[in-house]
């Protein structure tokens, strides 16, 4: 039986969403611990989220 | 404060009722008609996502082929330069004749045809007609030029308002904090105090260009420049070339022959590192393109729901969702501009980094 490519894309998107969620929650924790570093944490969070998002989109367009 | 139970119950019930109303409506209407509406919406969205040779604001009558908008110049190279207005295509309905050659629009692309406008297909259903080189001023080009002119006007005016006083006047008051933010929070931390100045011009240009053009994409003009992959490719190439040409020898050394690494690993890592330099701008291109395309696609699909669920509840839900999503898209428009600038600055920072430690 052939597995449709869209299923793989869906799995990757779920993975990407999980990853971004994890980044968000860790950033929240970090900001709660050190509110004065929130600017730096946000920047690092956005970069990491953007890199993961790129993979998600690549999967979507490959499907 | 928690909402009383009956309020929550009512909320849930309203949502559920809405869905049952959809379901009934879908059952009641004939499947055939439903299919044609869906196909029409799909076609409309696909059309919106493409670049076009004329600037149409809205269609007055589909059958009579009357549209409100204006034609744009078509410039093609086909054994000589040929310039004519896109009104000759009559929105793709007729064949344009120029100097004895015939051209027609096929899915928004110009192809060479005979007088009847015949389009030949190969086995896979692709047109085999000759495609002349197309340098037309399309809708996207018009808006790229418009935004460029707007930016020149805005920033020249702002620069002039600094003469004689430290406080900018007019539009500069709004722009100054954004420019300072890009300098102090994007350029300096990523590139470093020493080298950031020569990159500021590019970073500011790319930030404001992407931001303004993304915002224009949300206006009812129906433009969408950044969901054209060619545009984002160009922007990414700018970042790539600036990184490559301003990089110091440390940068190249760390790519091809990194220090403090065994020789065998150097040989393994060099191709990976080299590939990495191409993947960085590639991901910039895909990210901007995909984010904006996905936003437009989802927004238009939600608006299209109005025509599928022909009940008041479907329309109002679609309206509410579309409004909420529009606000989210406002955020995404700024966020994508920020990320593009941020990552460009990061790559420039890597290129000029100095390693004093070894």
Contact A61 B291 (CB under 8 A): no
Residues of B in contact with A60 (CB under 8 A): 290, 294
- φ and ψ of B301, to 5 deg: -65, -40
Which residues make Cβ contacts (< 8 Å) with residue B270, sequence separation at least 6?
A: B255, B256, B257
Which residues make Cβ contacts (< 8 Å) with residue B176, sequence separation at least 6?
A: B158, B168
B283 near A CB under 8 A? yes
The chain B residue lying nearest A40, using CA atoms, is: B185
User: How would residue B20 be classed by pLDDT, with cut points 50, 70 and 90?
Assistant: very low
User: How would residue B21 be classed by pLDDT, with cut points 50, 70 and 90?
Assistant: very low
User: pLDDT tens digit string along B347-358?
Assistant: 999 888 877 655
Statement: residue B241 has pLDDT above 60: yes
Statement: residue B195 has pLDDT above 70: yes
Which residues make Cβ contacts (< 8 Å) with residue B196, sequence separation at least 6?
A: B183, B187, B188
- How many beta carbons lie within 10 A of that of residue B247, not counting itself? 19
* Residue B72 to residue B54: CA distance in whole angstroms: 5
Identity of the highest mean pLDDT range in A53-62, B92-101, B196-205, B292-301: B196-205
Looking at residue B56, what is its pLDDT? 74
* Residue B48 to residue B53: CA distance in whole angstroms: 12
Mean pLDDT of A31-57: 85
Q: Is the dihedral of CA B203, B205, B210, B212 positive or negative?
A: positive
Percent of chain B clearing pLDDT 90 (strictly above): 16
The whole-angstrom distance between A26's CA and the closest CA on chain B is 20
- On whether the CB atoms of residues B127 and B106 are closer than 8 A, the answer is yes
Partner residue facing A57 (CB), from B290, B335, B346: B290
User: How would residue B12 be classed by pLDDT, with cut points 50, 70 and 90?
Assistant: low
* Residue A50 to residue B86: CA distance in whole angstroms: 40
User: How would residue A1 be classed by pLDDT, with cut points 50, 70 and 90?
Assistant: low
B279 near A CB under 8 A? no
The better pLDDT of the pair B32, B319 is held by B319
The better pLDDT of the pair A39, B94 is held by A39
Pull the structure tokens for residue B311. Answer: 């009940």
ipTM computed for the complex: 0.71
Picking from B184, B232, B276, B287 by the largest number of A CB atoms within 10 A of its own CB, the best residue to mutate is B287
Residues of A in contact with B343 (CB under 8 A): 47, 50
Mean pLDDT of B111-139: 75
Statement: residue B29 has pLDDT above 50: no
Statement: residue B145 has pLDDT above 70: yes
Contact A47 B283 (CB under 8 A): no
Residues of A in contact with B298 (CB under 8 A): none
- How many beta carbons lie within 10 A of that of residue B326, not counting itself? 13
* Residue B4 to residue B1: CA distance in whole angstroms: 9
Statement: residue B8 has pLDDT above 50: yes
B294 near A CB under 8 A? yes
Secondary structure (H, E, C), B78-130: CCCEEEEEHHHHCCCCCCEEECCEEEEEECCEEEEECCCCCCCECCCCCECCC
- φ and ψ of B94, to 5 deg: -130, 170
Residues of B in contact with A47 (CB under 8 A): 339, 342-343, 346
Mean pLDDT of B84-101: 73
Looking at residue B5, what is its pLDDT? 57
Beta bridge partners of B85: B73
* Residue B149 to residue B156: CA distance in whole angstroms: 10
B127 burial via Cβ count (<10 Å: 0-12, 13-18, 19+): middle
Looking at residue B130, what is its pLDDT? 75
User: pLDDT tens digit string along B285-301?
Assistant: 888 888 888 888 888 88
The chain A residue lying nearest B344, using CA atoms, is: A47
Domain boundaries, chain B: 69-136, 140-352
User: How would residue B203 be classed by pLDDT, with cut points 50, 70 and 90?
Assistant: very high
């Amino acid at each position: 039986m052939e597995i449709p490519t869209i299923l793989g894309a869906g799995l990757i998107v779920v993975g990407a969403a999980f990853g971004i969620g994890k980044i968000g929650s860790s950033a929240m924790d970090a900001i709660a611990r050190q509110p004065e570093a929130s600017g730096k944490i946000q920047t690092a969070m956005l970069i990491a989220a953007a890199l993961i998002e790129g993979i998600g989109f690549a999967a979507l367009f490959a499907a | 404060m928690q909402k009383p139970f009956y309020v929550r119950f009512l909320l849930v019930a309203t949502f559920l009722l809405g869905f049952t109303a959809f379901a009934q409506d879908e059952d009641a209407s004939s499947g055939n008609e439903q299919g044609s509406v869906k196909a029409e919406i799909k076609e409309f969205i696909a059309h919106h996502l493409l670049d076009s040779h004329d600037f149409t604001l809205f269609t007055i009558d589909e059958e009579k082929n009357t549209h409100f908008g204006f034609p744009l110049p078509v410039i093609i190279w086909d054994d000589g330069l040929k310039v004519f207005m896109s009104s000759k295509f009559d929105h793709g309905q007729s064949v344009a004749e120029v100097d004895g050659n015939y051209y027609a629009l096929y899915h928004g692309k110009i192809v060479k045809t005979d007088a009847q406008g015949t389009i030949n297909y190969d086995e896979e259903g692709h047109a085999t007609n000759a495609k002349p080189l197309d340098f037309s001023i399309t809708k996207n080009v018009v808006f790229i030029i418009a935004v460029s002119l707007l930016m020149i006007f805005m920033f020249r005016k702002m620069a002039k308002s600094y003469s004689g006083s430290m406080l900018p006047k007019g539009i500069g008051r709004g722009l100054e904090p954004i420019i300072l933010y890009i300098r102090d929070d994007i350029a300096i931390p990523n590139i470093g105090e020493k080298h950031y100045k020569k990159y500021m011009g590019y970073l500011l240009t790319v930030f404001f260009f992407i931001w303004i053009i993304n915002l224009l994409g949300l206006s009812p003009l129906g433009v969408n420049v950044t969901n054209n992959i060619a545009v984002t490719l160009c922007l990414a190439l700018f970042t790539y070339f600036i990184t490559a040409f301003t990089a110091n020898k440390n940068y190249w050394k760390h790519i091809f022959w990194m220090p403090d690494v065994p020789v065998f690993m150097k040989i393994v890592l060099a191709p990976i590192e080299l590939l990495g330099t191409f993947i960085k701008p590639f991901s910039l291109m895909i990210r901007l393109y995909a984010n904006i395309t996905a936003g437009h696609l989802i927004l238009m699909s939600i608006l299209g729901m109005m025509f599928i669920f022909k009940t008041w509840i479907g329309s109002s839900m679609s309206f509410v969702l579309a409004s909420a999503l529009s606000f989210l898209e406002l955020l995404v428009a700024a966020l994508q501009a920020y990320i593009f600038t941020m990552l460009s600055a990061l790559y420039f920072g890597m290129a000029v980094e100095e390693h004093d430690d070894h």
